[in-house]
Amino acid sequence: MSKSFDGVVEQLKKRKLLSTTLILLTLAIGIVLGTLISSSVNAARQQVAAADATPLTIPNPVQVSNTFSQIAKKIRPAVVNINTESVVRSAVPKRRRRPSTEEEADPREDMLRRFFGPQFDFFGSPLEAPEGDQRVQNLGSGVIVDPNGYIITNNHVIDKADRIRVKLMDDATLYNAKVVGTDSWTDLAVIKIDGRKALPVAKLGNSDAVQVGDWAIAIGSPFGLEETMTAGIISAKGREIFQGLRGQFQRFIQTDAAINRGNSGGPLLNINAEVIGINTAIYSTTGHYEGLGFAMPSNVAVQVYNQIIKDGKVVRGSIGIHFRDDKNEALLRVYGAKEGGVLVSEVQPGGPAEKAGIKAEDVITAINGRPIRNGEELVATVAASPVGSALKLTILRDSKTVDVSVTVADRADVFKDRLAEVRGETEEPRQATEVMFGMTLSGVTREQRQQWEFNEPGGVVVTGVEPSSFAEDIGIQKNDIILAINRRSVSGVGEVRQIQRELRPGSDVAFRIMRPTLVGRRPSWQNLFLAGVLPSGQ
Protein backbone atom coordinates (compact mmCIF):
# COMPACT_ATOMS: atom_id res chain seq x y z
CA MET A 1 0.00 0.00 0.00
CA SER A 2 2.75 2.35 0.93
CA LYS A 3 4.63 1.67 -2.24
CA SER A 4 1.56 2.16 -4.34
CA PHE A 5 0.89 5.54 -2.64
CA ASP A 6 4.47 6.66 -3.08
CA GLY A 7 4.25 5.86 -6.80
CA VAL A 8 1.17 7.97 -7.21
CA VAL A 9 2.85 10.89 -5.48
CA GLU A 10 5.90 10.50 -7.67
CA GLN A 11 3.78 10.56 -10.84
CA LEU A 12 1.98 13.70 -9.70
CA LYS A 13 5.30 15.41 -9.10
CA LYS A 14 6.49 14.47 -12.56
CA ARG A 15 3.31 15.78 -14.16
CA LYS A 16 3.55 19.07 -12.23
CA LEU A 17 7.15 19.52 -13.29
CA LEU A 18 6.24 18.76 -16.87
CA SER A 19 3.41 21.31 -16.80
CA THR A 20 5.68 23.98 -15.32
CA THR A 21 8.33 23.22 -17.90
CA LEU A 22 5.81 23.50 -20.74
CA ILE A 23 4.54 26.86 -19.43
CA LEU A 24 8.06 28.29 -19.12
CA LEU A 25 8.96 27.00 -22.57
CA THR A 26 5.84 28.62 -24.06
CA LEU A 27 6.67 31.99 -22.41
CA ALA A 28 10.25 31.83 -23.62
CA ILE A 29 9.14 31.12 -27.18
CA GLY A 30 6.68 34.08 -27.01
CA ILE A 31 9.37 36.44 -25.75
CA VAL A 32 11.77 35.37 -28.48
CA LEU A 33 9.10 35.77 -31.16
CA GLY A 34 8.10 39.21 -29.79
CA THR A 35 11.70 40.38 -29.75
CA LEU A 36 12.27 39.18 -33.32
CA ILE A 37 9.10 40.84 -34.56
CA SER A 38 9.92 44.13 -32.74
CA SER A 39 13.47 44.11 -34.05
CA SER A 40 12.21 43.48 -37.56
CA VAL A 41 9.75 46.37 -37.29
CA ASN A 42 12.37 48.76 -35.88
CA ALA A 43 14.85 47.70 -38.52
CA ALA A 44 12.24 48.27 -41.18
CA ARG A 45 11.48 51.74 -39.79
CA GLN A 46 15.16 52.72 -39.67
CA GLN A 47 15.68 51.57 -43.19
CA VAL A 48 12.67 53.61 -44.38
CA ALA A 49 13.75 56.86 -42.55
CA ALA A 50 17.49 57.07 -43.32
CA ALA A 51 19.30 53.79 -43.45
CA ASP A 52 22.64 55.34 -44.42
CA ALA A 53 22.59 58.21 -41.88
CA THR A 54 25.07 58.49 -39.00
CA PRO A 55 23.76 59.78 -35.63
CA LEU A 56 25.08 63.19 -34.57
CA THR A 57 27.01 63.77 -31.37
CA ILE A 58 27.31 66.88 -29.21
CA PRO A 59 30.98 67.89 -28.89
CA ASN A 60 32.63 68.72 -25.62
CA PRO A 61 32.50 72.42 -24.63
CA VAL A 62 35.44 74.38 -26.06
CA GLN A 63 36.39 77.94 -25.00
CA VAL A 64 36.12 80.25 -28.04
CA SER A 65 37.52 83.77 -28.41
CA ASN A 66 35.72 86.11 -26.01
CA THR A 67 37.39 89.37 -27.08
CA PHE A 68 34.18 91.07 -28.16
CA SER A 69 32.24 89.96 -25.10
CA GLN A 70 34.99 91.38 -22.90
CA ILE A 71 34.78 94.66 -24.80
CA ALA A 72 31.02 94.75 -24.25
CA LYS A 73 31.43 94.22 -20.51
CA LYS A 74 33.95 97.05 -20.27
CA ILE A 75 32.24 99.70 -22.37
CA ARG A 76 28.47 99.14 -22.23
CA PRO A 77 27.99 100.63 -18.73
CA ALA A 78 29.52 103.90 -20.01
CA VAL A 79 27.27 104.16 -23.08
CA VAL A 80 24.00 106.04 -22.52
CA ASN A 81 20.69 106.46 -24.29
CA ILE A 82 19.68 110.10 -24.88
CA ASN A 83 16.03 111.14 -25.19
CA THR A 84 15.20 114.64 -26.41
CA GLU A 85 11.95 116.55 -26.76
CA SER A 86 11.44 119.73 -28.75
CA VAL A 87 8.54 121.73 -30.10
CA VAL A 88 8.64 123.15 -33.61
CA ARG A 89 6.43 126.21 -33.56
CA SER A 90 4.40 127.44 -36.50
CA ALA A 91 5.44 131.02 -35.68
CA VAL A 92 9.00 130.25 -36.78
CA PRO A 93 9.57 131.11 -40.47
CA LYS A 94 10.26 128.23 -42.82
CA ARG A 95 13.80 127.01 -42.68
CA ARG A 96 16.10 126.41 -45.60
CA ARG A 97 14.45 123.85 -47.86
CA ARG A 98 16.05 121.24 -50.06
CA PRO A 99 16.72 122.22 -53.69
CA SER A 100 13.73 121.39 -55.86
CA THR A 101 15.63 120.00 -58.85
CA GLU A 102 18.35 117.43 -59.28
CA GLU A 103 20.56 120.07 -60.90
CA GLU A 104 20.37 122.25 -57.76
CA ALA A 105 20.85 119.45 -55.26
CA ASP A 106 24.11 118.09 -53.92
CA PRO A 107 23.66 114.27 -54.13
CA ARG A 108 25.79 113.77 -51.03
CA GLU A 109 23.55 116.11 -49.06
CA ASP A 110 20.56 114.03 -50.15
CA MET A 111 22.17 110.78 -49.03
CA LEU A 112 23.86 111.93 -45.86
CA ARG A 113 21.26 112.01 -43.16
CA ARG A 114 21.64 112.10 -39.44
CA PHE A 115 20.08 109.30 -37.53
CA PHE A 116 16.85 111.18 -36.76
CA GLY A 117 15.44 110.43 -40.19
CA PRO A 118 15.27 112.05 -43.61
CA GLN A 119 13.50 115.18 -42.38
CA PHE A 120 16.77 116.37 -40.83
CA ASP A 121 19.66 117.76 -42.82
CA PHE A 122 23.38 117.50 -42.04
CA PHE A 123 23.23 119.94 -39.15
CA GLY A 124 20.04 118.50 -37.64
CA SER A 125 17.63 121.32 -38.63
CA PRO A 126 14.13 120.58 -39.95
CA LEU A 127 14.09 121.15 -43.69
CA GLU A 128 10.71 122.88 -43.43
CA ALA A 129 8.66 124.06 -40.48
CA PRO A 130 5.50 121.93 -40.05
CA GLU A 131 2.02 123.35 -40.07
CA GLY A 132 1.05 124.11 -36.47
CA ASP A 133 3.08 123.42 -33.34
CA GLN A 134 4.51 119.93 -33.34
CA ARG A 135 6.31 118.05 -30.58
CA VAL A 136 9.28 116.06 -31.80
CA GLN A 137 10.83 113.26 -29.74
CA ASN A 138 14.20 111.86 -30.77
CA LEU A 139 16.71 109.30 -29.59
CA GLY A 140 20.48 109.31 -29.68
CA SER A 141 23.48 107.96 -27.82
CA GLY A 142 26.39 109.28 -25.81
CA VAL A 143 29.44 108.12 -23.88
CA ILE A 144 30.37 108.98 -20.28
CA VAL A 145 33.93 110.31 -20.03
CA ASP A 146 33.93 111.66 -16.46
CA PRO A 147 32.56 109.92 -13.31
CA ASN A 148 30.85 113.20 -12.34
CA GLY A 149 28.40 112.70 -15.20
CA TYR A 150 29.98 114.48 -18.18
CA ILE A 151 28.95 112.95 -21.50
CA ILE A 152 30.18 113.47 -25.07
CA THR A 153 27.56 113.22 -27.82
CA ASN A 154 26.69 114.87 -31.14
CA ASN A 155 25.47 118.44 -31.28
CA HIS A 156 22.65 117.46 -33.64
CA VAL A 157 21.36 114.98 -31.04
CA ILE A 158 20.61 117.73 -28.50
CA ASP A 159 20.44 120.84 -30.70
CA LYS A 160 17.26 122.92 -30.13
CA ALA A 161 15.93 120.37 -27.62
CA ASP A 162 13.60 121.71 -24.94
CA ARG A 163 14.36 118.75 -22.70
CA ILE A 164 17.28 116.29 -22.63
CA ARG A 165 17.07 113.11 -20.58
CA VAL A 166 19.62 110.35 -20.21
CA LYS A 167 19.11 106.66 -19.41
CA LEU A 168 21.95 104.56 -18.01
CA MET A 169 22.49 100.83 -18.41
CA ASP A 170 20.38 98.73 -16.00
CA ASP A 171 18.77 101.87 -14.58
CA ALA A 172 15.18 102.80 -15.48
CA THR A 173 15.62 106.37 -14.23
CA LEU A 174 15.60 109.16 -16.82
CA TYR A 175 18.13 111.74 -15.63
CA ASN A 176 17.65 115.37 -16.68
CA ALA A 177 20.72 116.62 -18.52
CA LYS A 178 22.02 120.13 -19.03
CA VAL A 179 24.13 121.33 -21.94
CA VAL A 180 27.66 122.32 -20.95
CA GLY A 181 28.66 123.44 -24.43
CA THR A 182 28.43 122.63 -28.14
CA ASP A 183 30.57 122.92 -31.27
CA SER A 184 28.70 123.09 -34.55
CA TRP A 185 31.85 122.84 -36.67
CA THR A 186 32.63 119.32 -35.46
CA ASP A 187 29.03 118.47 -34.49
CA LEU A 188 30.11 117.59 -30.95
CA ALA A 189 28.49 118.50 -27.63
CA VAL A 190 29.06 117.98 -23.92
CA ILE A 191 26.14 117.41 -21.55
CA LYS A 192 26.03 116.61 -17.83
CA ILE A 193 23.79 114.59 -15.55
CA ASP A 194 23.80 114.35 -11.77
CA GLY A 195 24.02 110.65 -11.01
CA ARG A 196 23.41 109.09 -7.62
CA LYS A 197 27.02 107.88 -7.48
CA ALA A 198 30.27 107.98 -9.44
CA LEU A 199 29.49 106.80 -12.96
CA PRO A 200 31.47 104.31 -15.08
CA VAL A 201 33.59 105.96 -17.75
CA ALA A 202 34.91 104.90 -21.13
CA LYS A 203 38.62 104.74 -21.85
CA LEU A 204 39.72 107.09 -24.63
CA GLY A 205 42.15 105.96 -27.32
CA ASN A 206 44.41 107.85 -29.72
CA SER A 207 42.66 108.05 -33.07
CA ASP A 208 45.93 108.87 -34.83
CA ALA A 209 47.00 105.27 -34.21
CA VAL A 210 44.02 103.85 -36.12
CA GLN A 211 44.89 101.98 -39.30
CA VAL A 212 42.70 100.96 -42.23
CA GLY A 213 41.71 97.33 -41.68
CA ASP A 214 41.68 97.53 -37.85
CA TRP A 215 38.68 96.14 -36.01
CA ALA A 216 35.95 98.69 -35.24
CA ILE A 217 33.08 98.23 -32.77
CA ALA A 218 30.07 100.54 -32.51
CA ILE A 219 27.73 100.70 -29.51
CA GLY A 220 24.56 102.76 -29.24
CA SER A 221 20.77 102.75 -29.43
CA PRO A 222 19.78 102.25 -33.08
CA PHE A 223 16.01 102.64 -33.46
CA GLY A 224 15.79 102.85 -29.67
CA LEU A 225 17.29 99.37 -29.14
CA GLU A 226 19.61 100.22 -26.28
CA GLU A 227 23.16 98.87 -25.87
CA THR A 228 23.33 97.39 -29.35
CA MET A 229 26.84 96.32 -30.34
CA THR A 230 28.05 95.83 -33.93
CA ALA A 231 31.48 95.10 -35.37
CA GLY A 232 33.34 95.79 -38.59
CA ILE A 233 36.61 97.32 -39.70
CA ILE A 234 38.10 100.76 -40.29
CA SER A 235 37.39 101.42 -43.97
CA ALA A 236 39.21 104.74 -44.38
CA LYS A 237 40.73 107.66 -42.46
CA GLY A 238 40.55 111.41 -42.94
CA ARG A 239 37.41 111.06 -45.03
CA GLU A 240 36.04 114.42 -46.20
CA ILE A 241 32.33 114.29 -47.02
CA PHE A 242 31.60 118.00 -47.35
CA GLN A 243 33.40 120.81 -49.11
CA GLY A 244 33.90 124.38 -47.92
CA LEU A 245 32.95 125.60 -44.46
CA ARG A 246 31.18 122.41 -43.51
CA GLY A 247 34.17 120.21 -44.07
CA GLN A 248 37.08 122.25 -42.73
CA PHE A 249 37.01 120.59 -39.30
CA GLN A 250 35.38 117.34 -40.33
CA ARG A 251 37.79 114.61 -41.31
CA PHE A 252 35.99 111.39 -40.43
CA ILE A 253 36.95 107.81 -39.67
CA GLN A 254 34.95 105.63 -42.06
CA THR A 255 33.73 102.20 -40.92
CA ASP A 256 31.49 99.39 -42.11
CA ALA A 257 30.37 98.54 -38.55
CA ALA A 258 26.57 98.74 -38.71
CA ILE A 259 25.29 102.07 -37.39
CA ASN A 260 21.78 103.45 -37.83
CA ARG A 261 19.46 106.14 -36.48
CA GLY A 262 19.98 106.33 -32.75
CA ASN A 263 23.67 105.35 -32.88
CA SER A 264 24.48 109.02 -33.35
CA GLY A 265 26.71 110.27 -30.52
CA GLY A 266 27.73 106.79 -29.42
CA PRO A 267 31.33 105.53 -29.36
CA LEU A 268 33.36 103.78 -32.04
CA LEU A 269 35.89 101.48 -30.36
CA ASN A 270 39.09 99.67 -31.20
CA ILE A 271 39.85 96.08 -30.20
CA ASN A 272 41.20 97.32 -26.83
CA ALA A 273 37.78 98.76 -25.89
CA GLU A 274 39.12 102.31 -26.31
CA VAL A 275 36.99 105.06 -27.82
CA ILE A 276 38.54 106.11 -31.13
CA GLY A 277 35.58 108.06 -32.52
CA ILE A 278 32.08 109.46 -31.99
CA ASN A 279 29.57 108.03 -34.49
CA THR A 280 28.15 110.96 -36.42
CA ALA A 281 26.79 110.25 -39.91
CA ILE A 282 25.87 107.57 -42.43
CA TYR A 283 25.99 107.52 -46.20
CA SER A 284 22.72 106.06 -47.38
CA THR A 285 20.16 106.22 -50.17
CA THR A 286 17.44 104.85 -47.86
CA GLY A 287 18.20 106.49 -44.52
CA HIS A 288 19.35 103.13 -43.14
CA TYR A 289 22.66 101.25 -42.90
CA GLU A 290 24.35 100.56 -46.24
CA GLY A 291 27.87 99.82 -45.07
CA LEU A 292 29.23 103.37 -44.81
CA GLY A 293 29.38 105.09 -41.44
CA PHE A 294 31.44 108.06 -40.26
CA ALA A 295 32.83 108.88 -36.81
CA MET A 296 34.53 112.05 -35.60
CA PRO A 297 38.06 111.03 -34.41
CA SER A 298 38.51 110.82 -30.64
CA ASN A 299 41.51 113.19 -30.70
CA VAL A 300 39.24 115.91 -32.11
CA ALA A 301 36.59 115.06 -29.51
CA VAL A 302 39.13 115.40 -26.70
CA GLN A 303 40.25 118.84 -27.90
CA VAL A 304 36.64 120.04 -28.19
CA TYR A 305 35.72 118.56 -24.80
CA ASN A 306 38.63 120.21 -23.01
CA GLN A 307 37.76 123.64 -24.39
CA ILE A 308 34.07 123.24 -23.55
CA ILE A 309 34.60 122.22 -19.92
CA LYS A 310 37.03 125.12 -19.53
CA ASP A 311 35.24 127.95 -21.36
CA GLY A 312 31.79 126.58 -22.19
CA LYS A 313 32.51 126.90 -25.90
CA VAL A 314 35.15 126.25 -28.55
CA VAL A 315 37.09 129.24 -29.90
CA ARG A 316 38.97 128.93 -33.18
CA GLY A 317 41.05 131.52 -34.94
CA SER A 318 40.23 132.76 -38.45
CA ILE A 319 41.59 135.26 -40.96
CA GLY A 320 38.41 135.35 -43.05
CA ILE A 321 39.21 133.78 -46.41
CA HIS A 322 37.56 131.18 -48.64
CA PHE A 323 39.52 128.74 -50.77
CA ARG A 324 39.06 125.57 -52.77
CA ASP A 325 41.36 122.87 -51.48
CA ASP A 326 41.37 120.60 -54.51
CA LYS A 327 45.19 120.32 -54.58
CA ASN A 328 45.22 121.22 -58.26
CA GLU A 329 48.94 121.63 -58.91
CA ALA A 330 48.41 122.93 -62.44
CA LEU A 331 46.19 125.72 -61.13
CA LEU A 332 48.75 126.68 -58.48
CA ARG A 333 51.55 126.73 -61.06
CA VAL A 334 49.55 129.11 -63.23
CA TYR A 335 49.46 131.52 -60.27
CA GLY A 336 53.20 131.15 -59.67
CA ALA A 337 53.25 128.55 -56.84
CA LYS A 338 55.74 125.77 -57.59
CA GLU A 339 55.64 123.86 -54.27
CA GLY A 340 52.07 124.00 -53.09
CA GLY A 341 50.01 126.68 -51.39
CA VAL A 342 46.42 127.86 -50.97
CA LEU A 343 44.68 129.91 -53.64
CA VAL A 344 42.31 132.50 -52.10
CA SER A 345 38.98 132.37 -53.94
CA GLU A 346 37.10 134.93 -51.82
CA VAL A 347 37.74 137.30 -48.91
CA GLN A 348 35.13 137.58 -46.19
CA PRO A 349 33.79 141.17 -46.09
CA GLY A 350 34.95 142.99 -42.98
CA GLY A 351 37.24 140.13 -41.95
CA PRO A 352 40.91 140.26 -40.94
CA ALA A 353 42.18 139.30 -44.39
CA GLU A 354 40.26 142.12 -46.08
CA LYS A 355 41.53 144.60 -43.51
CA ALA A 356 45.09 143.39 -44.17
CA GLY A 357 44.72 143.87 -47.92
CA ILE A 358 44.59 140.21 -49.00
CA LYS A 359 42.71 139.73 -52.28
CA ALA A 360 41.15 136.95 -54.29
CA GLU A 361 43.71 135.09 -56.47
CA ASP A 362 46.46 135.59 -53.90
CA VAL A 363 48.29 132.34 -53.07
CA ILE A 364 49.26 131.81 -49.42
CA THR A 365 52.54 129.88 -49.33
CA ALA A 366 53.71 130.30 -45.70
CA ILE A 367 52.63 131.41 -42.22
CA ASN A 368 55.31 132.79 -39.89
CA GLY A 369 57.91 131.33 -42.22
CA ARG A 370 56.43 127.83 -42.13
CA PRO A 371 55.48 126.50 -45.60
CA ILE A 372 51.77 125.91 -46.21
CA ARG A 373 51.15 123.22 -48.83
CA ASN A 374 47.36 122.86 -48.68
CA GLY A 375 44.19 124.15 -47.09
CA GLU A 376 44.20 121.57 -44.31
CA GLU A 377 47.54 122.86 -43.04
CA LEU A 378 46.37 126.47 -43.30
CA VAL A 379 43.16 125.84 -41.34
CA ALA A 380 44.96 123.85 -38.65
CA THR A 381 47.57 126.58 -38.16
CA VAL A 382 45.15 129.52 -38.09
CA ALA A 383 42.50 127.77 -35.99
CA ALA A 384 45.07 126.97 -33.30
CA SER A 385 46.32 130.57 -33.15
CA PRO A 386 45.04 132.69 -30.22
CA VAL A 387 42.43 135.30 -31.06
CA GLY A 388 44.15 138.70 -31.26
CA SER A 389 47.54 137.32 -32.21
CA ALA A 390 49.33 138.49 -35.38
CA LEU A 391 50.38 136.14 -38.18
CA LYS A 392 52.83 136.93 -40.96
CA LEU A 393 51.48 135.51 -44.20
CA THR A 394 53.71 135.03 -47.21
CA ILE A 395 51.66 135.34 -50.39
CA LEU A 396 52.22 135.25 -54.13
CA ARG A 397 50.52 138.04 -56.02
CA ASP A 398 51.15 138.35 -59.75
CA SER A 399 54.09 135.97 -59.29
CA LYS A 400 55.66 138.32 -56.73
CA THR A 401 56.24 137.45 -53.06
CA VAL A 402 54.60 139.75 -50.51
CA ASP A 403 54.52 139.52 -46.68
CA VAL A 404 51.30 140.59 -44.99
CA SER A 405 50.49 140.86 -41.25
CA VAL A 406 47.01 139.62 -40.28
CA THR A 407 45.35 139.76 -36.85
CA VAL A 408 43.53 136.53 -35.96
CA ALA A 409 39.82 136.89 -35.08
CA ASP A 410 37.22 134.54 -33.60
CA ARG A 411 35.92 132.26 -36.35
CA ALA A 412 32.39 132.40 -34.95
CA ASP A 413 32.39 136.18 -35.39
CA VAL A 414 34.05 136.23 -38.80
CA PHE A 415 31.67 133.69 -40.35
CA LYS A 416 28.61 134.46 -38.25
CA ASP A 417 26.27 134.91 -41.23
CA ARG A 418 27.66 131.96 -43.13
CA LEU A 419 27.39 129.68 -40.11
CA ALA A 420 23.76 130.63 -39.59
CA GLU A 421 23.08 129.89 -43.26
CA VAL A 422 24.85 126.54 -43.13
CA ARG A 423 22.93 125.48 -40.04
CA GLY A 424 19.62 126.66 -41.44
CA GLU A 425 19.06 129.19 -38.68
CA THR A 426 16.62 132.05 -39.06
CA GLU A 427 17.73 135.67 -38.96
CA GLU A 428 15.77 136.13 -35.75
CA PRO A 429 16.86 133.40 -33.33
CA ARG A 430 14.43 132.16 -30.76
CA GLN A 431 14.58 134.36 -27.69
CA ALA A 432 14.91 132.83 -24.26
CA THR A 433 12.07 133.66 -21.87
CA GLU A 434 12.40 134.14 -18.15
CA VAL A 435 10.03 131.64 -16.63
CA MET A 436 9.04 130.47 -13.20
CA PHE A 437 8.49 126.74 -12.74
CA GLY A 438 8.51 126.54 -16.54
CA MET A 439 5.66 129.01 -17.15
CA THR A 440 5.22 132.72 -17.79
CA LEU A 441 2.92 134.68 -15.52
CA SER A 442 1.23 138.05 -15.22
CA GLY A 443 -1.06 139.73 -12.76
CA VAL A 444 -4.85 139.57 -13.19
CA THR A 445 -6.20 142.96 -14.24
CA ARG A 446 -9.56 144.44 -13.25
CA GLU A 447 -10.74 144.22 -16.86
CA GLN A 448 -9.84 140.50 -16.99
CA ARG A 449 -11.74 139.83 -13.78
CA GLN A 450 -14.84 141.50 -15.21
CA GLN A 451 -14.56 139.83 -18.60
CA TRP A 452 -13.93 136.38 -17.12
CA GLU A 453 -16.36 136.84 -14.22
CA PHE A 454 -13.57 135.88 -11.87
CA ASN A 455 -14.38 136.93 -8.32
CA GLU A 456 -11.60 135.26 -6.28
CA PRO A 457 -9.17 137.70 -4.62
CA GLY A 458 -5.50 137.71 -5.69
CA GLY A 459 -4.00 135.23 -8.10
CA VAL A 460 -1.72 135.34 -11.13
CA VAL A 461 -2.65 134.19 -14.63
CA VAL A 462 -0.55 131.68 -16.62
CA THR A 463 0.22 133.28 -19.99
CA GLY A 464 2.33 130.41 -21.33
CA VAL A 465 3.75 127.01 -20.40
CA GLU A 466 7.17 125.91 -21.62
CA PRO A 467 7.21 122.51 -23.38
CA SER A 468 8.56 119.61 -21.27
CA SER A 469 8.76 121.85 -18.19
CA PHE A 470 7.83 121.12 -14.58
CA ALA A 471 4.61 123.12 -15.01
CA GLU A 472 3.57 121.12 -18.04
CA ASP A 473 4.47 117.83 -16.35
CA ILE A 474 2.08 118.44 -13.45
CA GLY A 475 -0.72 119.63 -15.73
CA ILE A 476 -0.73 123.44 -15.53
CA GLN A 477 -2.24 125.05 -18.63
CA LYS A 478 -2.32 128.44 -20.27
CA ASN A 479 -5.04 130.74 -18.76
CA ASP A 480 -5.03 128.89 -15.41
CA ILE A 481 -5.08 131.32 -12.47
CA ILE A 482 -2.78 130.36 -9.59
CA LEU A 483 -4.18 131.32 -6.20
CA ALA A 484 -1.66 129.65 -3.88
CA ILE A 485 1.67 127.79 -3.90
CA ASN A 486 2.41 125.44 -1.00
CA ARG A 487 -0.62 126.95 0.79
CA ARG A 488 0.79 130.49 0.49
CA SER A 489 -1.55 132.88 -1.30
CA VAL A 490 -0.10 134.77 -4.25
CA SER A 491 -1.38 137.95 -5.83
CA GLY A 492 1.59 139.02 -7.94
CA VAL A 493 4.45 137.67 -10.04
CA GLY A 494 7.02 138.85 -7.50
CA GLU A 495 5.51 136.61 -4.82
CA VAL A 496 5.78 133.58 -7.11
CA ARG A 497 9.40 134.44 -7.86
CA GLN A 498 10.19 134.68 -4.14
CA ILE A 499 8.62 131.28 -3.44
CA GLN A 500 10.61 129.72 -6.26
CA ARG A 501 13.88 131.14 -4.84
CA GLU A 502 13.20 129.45 -1.52
CA LEU A 503 12.72 126.00 -3.07
CA ARG A 504 15.41 123.50 -3.96
CA PRO A 505 15.52 120.51 -6.34
CA GLY A 506 13.55 117.68 -4.76
CA SER A 507 11.13 120.02 -2.97
CA ASP A 508 7.42 119.21 -3.03
CA VAL A 509 5.43 121.96 -4.76
CA ALA A 510 1.63 122.20 -4.65
CA PHE A 511 -0.50 124.67 -6.60
CA ARG A 512 -4.08 125.71 -6.02
CA ILE A 513 -5.46 126.93 -9.32
CA MET A 514 -8.71 128.02 -10.91
CA ARG A 515 -9.27 126.73 -14.44
CA PRO A 516 -11.75 128.41 -16.82
CA THR A 517 -14.53 126.24 -18.21
CA LEU A 518 -17.86 126.80 -19.93
CA VAL A 519 -21.22 125.85 -18.45
CA GLY A 520 -23.61 126.28 -21.33
CA ARG A 521 -22.51 129.64 -22.73
CA ARG A 522 -21.40 131.14 -19.45
CA PRO A 523 -17.82 131.06 -18.14
CA SER A 524 -17.23 129.06 -14.99
CA TRP A 525 -14.22 128.17 -12.85
CA GLN A 526 -12.97 124.78 -11.71
CA ASN A 527 -10.97 124.57 -8.47
CA LEU A 528 -7.94 122.25 -8.91
CA PHE A 529 -4.91 121.16 -6.89
CA LEU A 530 -1.76 120.14 -8.81
CA ALA A 531 1.56 119.06 -7.32
CA GLY A 532 4.93 117.51 -8.10
CA VAL A 533 8.57 117.17 -7.02
CA LEU A 534 10.71 120.04 -8.30
CA PRO A 535 13.51 118.74 -10.56
CA SER A 536 16.87 120.42 -11.04
CA GLY A 537 16.99 123.40 -13.35
CA GLN A 538 13.54 124.83 -12.49
What average pLDDT does the segment 242-264 reach?
77
Contact 284, 166 (CB under 8 A): no
What average pLDDT does the segment 154-175 reach?
89
Q: How far is CA 299 from CA 186, 197, 211, 278, 302, in A?
A: 12, 28, 15, 10, 5
The pLDDT confidence band at residue 164, using thresholds 50, 70 and 90, is very high
> What pTM was estimated for this model as a whole?
0.60
Which pLDDT value is given to residue 277?
93
pLDDT digits (tens, 9 = 90+) for 63-80: 656 788 888 888 999 999
Contact 509, 499 (CB under 8 A): no
Residue from 159, 187, 325, 362 carrying the catalytic annotation: 187
pLDDT digits (tens, 9 = 90+) for 477-504: 988 999 999 889 998 888 888 888 888 8
The pLDDT confidence band at residue 106, using thresholds 50, 70 and 90, is very low
Contact 95, 424 (CB under 8 A): yes
Which pLDDT value is given to residue 51?
80
The Cα 329–Cα 342 span in angstroms is 10
Contact 252, 299 (CB under 8 A): no
Q: Is the pLDDT of residue 81 over 50?
A: yes
In terms of Cα–Cα distance, which of 416, 408, 463 is closest to 440?
463
Q: Is the pLDDT of residue 29 over 80?
A: no
176 vs 244, residue with greater confidence: 176
Mean pLDDT score across all residues of the chain: 78
Which pLDDT value is given to residue 35?
56
The pLDDT confidence band at residue 129, using thresholds 50, 70 and 90, is very low
524 is catalytic: no
What average pLDDT does the segment 175-183 reach?
93
288 is catalytic: no
Residue from 156, 256, 385, 469 carrying the catalytic annotation: 156
Contact 300, 383 (CB under 8 A): no
141 is catalytic: no
> DSSP letters along 392-419, please?
EEEEEETTEEEEEEEE-EEHHHHTHHHH
Which pLDDT value is given to residue 10?
66
238 vs 126, residue with greater confidence: 238
Which pLDDT value is given to residue 426?
37
Length of the chain: 538
What percent of the chain is helix, strand and coil (3-state, nearest 5)?
A: 30, 30, 40
pLDDT digits (tens, 9 = 90+) for 266-317: 999 999 999 999 998 887 766 677 778 899 999 999 999 999 999 898 888 9
The Cα 523–Cα 519 span in angstroms is 6
What average pLDDT does the segment 20-32 reach?
62
In terms of Cα–Cα distance, which of 248, 247, 65, 82 is closest to 153?
82
pLDDT digits (tens, 9 = 90+) for 430-475: 322 334 688 888 888 877 888 888 888 889 999 888 887 888 889 9
Which pLDDT value is given to residue 127?
37
Residue 537's identity, in one-letter code, is: G
| Proportion of the chain above pLDDT 70, given as a percent | 74
What average pLDDT does the segment 376-384 reach?
87
Q: Report the range of poorest mean pLDDT among 5-9, 150-154, 332-336.
A: 5-9
What average pLDDT does the segment 340-364 reach?
89
Which pLDDT value is given to residue 391?
93
Q: Is the pLDDT of residue 31 over 80?
A: no
SS3 annotation, 139-196:
EEEEEEEECCCEEEEEHHHHCCCCEEEEECCCCCCEEEEEEEEEECCCCEEEEEECCC
Residue from 235, 264, 284, 468 carrying the catalytic annotation: 264
What average pLDDT does the segment 24-42 reach?
57
Which pLDDT value is given to residue 59?
84
